[in-house]
Amino acid sequence: METKKILYSGIQPSGAITLGNYIGAISNFVKLESQYNCLFAMADLHALTVRQVPADLRARTIQLTALYIACGLNPENNIIYCQSHVPQHAELSWILSCFSYMGELGRMTQFKAKSEKNSENINAGLFTYPVLMAADILLYQSDLVPVGADQKQHLELTRDIAQRFNGIYGDVFTIPDGYIPKVTAKIMSLMDPLKKMSKSDDPDSYISLLDSFDDIRRKLKRAVTDSDADIRFDPENKPGVSNLLSIYSALKNVSIEEAEKDFSGKGYGELKKDIAEVVVEHIRPIQEKYNMLMQDKAYLNDLLKTNAEKAQSIAQKTLRKVYKKVGLYQIK
Ligand code: ATP
Ligand code: LTN
């Protein structure tokens, strides 16, 4: 990994990968991959902050590996790997937790939202979630972190922790920049367009990249819109319609204005039908490639093994430096 800058991102294998994950995150990974040395993680340790069925978590981890590749990431040039295969993440996370404040962690909106949603299991991992995310990013001296808008606060915290640490010990960590697209950084739920589309919600509220085409058409047909019939982008007053226009503009790679023009004079029925076809045609080749990859589990497994080693060797360099700086005794 030389010359090019480092790009890092991760997705939790905590559910079906959604169109929100794709538009907000993965499609930007694909856009940026050739300009950077990239690492893309299956953030399985993060997924444990919410109770998981063990067999499902395992299966989803390999599915996400295949999906990253099926969506267009080059498995040879990028390090696509599993977070739990690199013990340095948990190790650095401990150190960084000693440089993170209860107050700042308590202000994280994702913590507040997930505590409300999982009120029977507000575990300490949910609270320290952003510290582990900071460790992920800082271990690789990452320059750029493409994420959806919901992760902006976590990124700012990562920068704060890194700056705090550097302030005490010198230049140990690269301070990462976020890459958050403006318009399509937050795809909303189909059932409640005031909430973000999330893979841990009701399946009718999201489109999974692995949904059948009939399901995609059905879900979009039932997507919540509003009572007037105007098709225009106005997230405040018309969140449902605006969300559909965002999806269309992202997948067709056209501006919102162009999207509005494409539907001028049309009704909601037509809007939903046309968008369903755009989604289906976009997802079709991804599913074809995914199905092919999933037939060769040995290939995926070998890739994870090689990449775990590559990631470990980079991560260990940073960790060694950190251990030394904070004063942990090193065996000679
Ligand atoms: P969960 O519902 O389990 O919290 P999630 O669907 O929010 O999961 P993550 O694994 O937390 O997914 O997120 C992976 C990436 O996808 C992040 O960069 C996140 O910002 C982005 N992302 C998630 N949901 C959306 C969305 N609705 N719109 C845009 N980007 C999204
Ligand atoms: N917390 C992220 C997933 C994630 C991540 C990361 C993203 C885990 N580690 C490092 C960017 C960089 C989320 O999207 N919920």
Tokens of 258: 């162009």
Q: How far apart are CA 21 and CA 28, in angstroms?
A: 10
| Burial of 113: CB neighbours in 10 Å, binned 0-12, 13-18, 19+ | middle
Instruction: Check: CB of residue 73 under 8 Å from CB of residue 80.
Output: yes
pLDDT digits (tens, 9 = 90+) for 97-156: 999 999 999 999 999 999 998 899 999 999 999 999 999 999 999 999 999 989 999 999
pLDDT digits (tens, 9 = 90+) for 27-59: 999 999 999 999 999 999 999 999 999 999 999
The pLDDT score that the predictor gives to residue 2 is 55
Phi, psi at residue 81, to the nearest 5°? -150, 170
The pLDDT score that the predictor gives to residue 325 is 98
pLDDT digits (tens, 9 = 90+) for 156-213: 999 999 999 999 999 999 999 999 987 777 999 999 999 999 998 999 999 999 999 9
pLDDT digits (tens, 9 = 90+) for 225-266: 988 889 999 999 999 999 999 999 999 999 999 999 999 999
Angle between helices 124-139 and 109-117 in degrees, nearest 10? 140
Q: Of 111, 187, 116, whose CA–CA distance to 149 is shortest?
A: 187
Tokens of 113: 């939202």
Residue 312 has pLDDT above 70, yes or no: yes
CA separation, residue 36 to residues 39, 68, 70, 270, 325 (Å):
9, 16, 19, 40, 28
Whether ligand 1 lies within 6 angstroms of the CB of 12 is answered as: yes
Tokens of 205: 């509220």
Q: How far apart are CA 186 and CA 264, in angstroms?
A: 24
Rounded distance from Cα 18 to ligand 1 centre (Å): 8
pLDDT digits (tens, 9 = 90+) for 115-125: 998 899 999 99
Residue 91 has pLDDT above 70, yes or no: yes
Kindly give the pairing relationship between strand 37-42 and strand 144-146.
unpaired
Rounded distance from Cα 95 to ligand 1 centre (Å): 26
Whether ligand 2 lies within 6 angstroms of the CB of 43 is answered as: yes
Whether ligand 2 lies within 6 angstroms of the CB of 198 is answered as: no
Which residue among the candidates 152, 182, 199, 273 is catalytic per the annotation? 199
Instruction: Give catalytic status of residue 305 as yes or no.
Output: no
Choosing from 151, 156, 158, 177 the residue with most ligand 2 atoms within 8 A of its CB, the one to mutate for a pocket test is 151
Q: With cut-offs at 50, 70 and 90, classify the pLDDT of residue 332.
A: confident
At 301, which helix (H) or strand (E)? helix 297-326
| Measured torsion, CA atoms of residues 217, 218, 222, 224, in degrees rounded to the nearest 10 | -50
